[in-house]
Structure 1
Amino acid sequence: MDIRKYYIESNALLEGHFLLSSGNHSKYYLQSAKILEDPKVAEILAKELAKEISKSNIKIDCICSPAIGGILAGYELARALQVRFIFTERVNGVMNLRRGFNVSPNERILICEDIITTGGSAVESAECVKNFGAKVVAFAALANRGFCKRVGSSITSKTECKLPLDIPLFALDDFLFDMYKENECPMCRNGSIAIKPGSRGN
């Protein structure tokens, strides 16, 4: 599958000057909310991701996503795998299970994001469900920014990756974009001002 084609056609691959959640700057930004606003496209991508996961023969009881960015991708993946779906959300900066959601001891959970960059939010969700006795068996995302190694990719994990190395990550493709610290950003040196898109910005 050429997921890049879907991102481009959905105007979800943005070009400009962006401040990422990591604090780094980049010329490109993946806005997965745009690609997921079309239910037919969301279903196609989730089914393709489900195929990759099913090849591993990992038993999954439930999909859990961190709110808000991972909810649509996680729900569609749960529908494709025919398992239940829950999400975690931050309360005073800490990931929690709310709204009557619960997990059972040893329940096998896959943590799903729309995009994995360093995996910080995914790890927070994982720790949340593990606190209730669940077992995190895999991570997944539509797109992987290349800091973490995904199944089927030759890219190795970078030091910035926060995902545990002993749990597999599944994604449809790697998106490798140059990123810069603010004091090293060539766009800043040219007088451009970074904007912060996404759920933590606007």
Structure 2
Amino acid sequence: MTHDEVLAEFRDAGALLEGHFILSSGRRSPIFLQKMFIFQDPVRTERLCKALAAKIEAQFGTVDYVVSPAVGGIVPGYETARHLKAKAVFVERENGEFRLRRGFAIPKGARTVMVEDIVTTGLSSRECLASVADQPGTMLGAACLVDRSAGRVDLGVPLVSLVQMDIPDYAPDALPPELAAIPAIKPGSRGLGA
């Protein structure tokens, strides 16, 4: 998929929102990508995750396991794993920290990729990666549908994305006046299950 085709999927789903948003990192942005509007449509989700799986295979080769952070990463992680013919597992917050639960494990030698929905600062991705660092599988890298950092984020592993975007985000105490004039809303899921 091209950059424009991916963005068209978000626009057509009503998932490209404008306003004043509190991101899961706590930073603020005039643009929010409401990926759940994508994920409510299985056909649209399949198109995007199939394209992401192709990019993952091109970058990393065969993948045995996909690990994703709950909540937002579960759907793209599962759907991408399906196209990779890989197992899909996810980490959940327990006492505020990501952990593999439900008996999930990444076995020795398993070629693994972390799949996320949208990366901005990379905090959730780094937390997910850290939570499985003690697993005996081999972490090849990470992948996401949209990299909001335009390639600037450092996860400590290679990152593959369908789209890189340079969407501005600001510290809460450094908002431009036009953004400060709009009431902020928090559409993300970071506080869930904490």
Structure 1: gaps of 5 or more residues: 150-156
- Deviation sequence 1:153-192 (CA, Å, 0-9, x none): xxxx2xxx3401xx321111112212222222123543x2
Distance 1:184 1:43, change over 3 A: same
Q: Equivalent residue for 1:187?
A: 178
Task: Please list, as runs of the form range in 1=range in 2, the aligned pairs for 1:12-161 lying within 5 A after superposition.
Answer: 12-146=15-149, 149=151, 157=152, 161=153
- In 1, distance between residues paired with 2:180 and 2:100? 43
- Deviation sequence 1:117-152 (CA, Å, 0-9, x none): 1222122221222212222101011111025x2xxx
Q: Equivalent residue for 2:159?
A: 169
SS in structure 1 of the partner of residue 63 of structure 2: coil
- In 2, distance between residues paired with 1:127 and 1:10? 33
C-alpha deviation, 1:35, in angstroms: 0.7
- In 2, distance between residues paired with 1:65 and 1:189? 33
Higher deviation after alignment, 54-63 or 133-142: 54-63
Q: Is the 8 A contact 1:118 1:163 kept in 2?
A: no
Higher deviation after alignment, 115-124 or 64-73: 115-124
Task: Give the alignment's TM-score, normalised by structure 1.
Answer: 0.87
SS in structure 1 of the partner of residue 14 of structure 2: coil
Q: Is the 8 A contact 2:81 2:88 kept in 1?
A: yes
Distance 1:38 1:183, change over 3 A: same
C-alpha deviation, 1:47, in angstroms: 0.9
Structure 2: gaps of 5 or more residues: none
- Deviation sequence 1:7-36 (CA, Å, 0-9, x none): 011011111111112222111101111111
- In 2, distance between residues paired with 1:189 and 1:122? 28
- In 2, distance between residues paired with 1:106 and 1:123? 21
Q: In percent, how many aligned pairs have the same letter?
A: 39
- In 2, distance between residues paired with 1:201 and 1:27? 21
AA matched with 1:175: M
- In 1, distance between residues paired with 2:17 and 2:178? 15
Higher deviation after alignment, 20-29 or 76-85: 20-29
CA RMSD, aligned part only? 1.7
Q: Higher relative CO (CA 8 A, sep ≥ 6), structure 1 or 2?
A: 2
Distance 1:143 1:65, change over 3 A: same
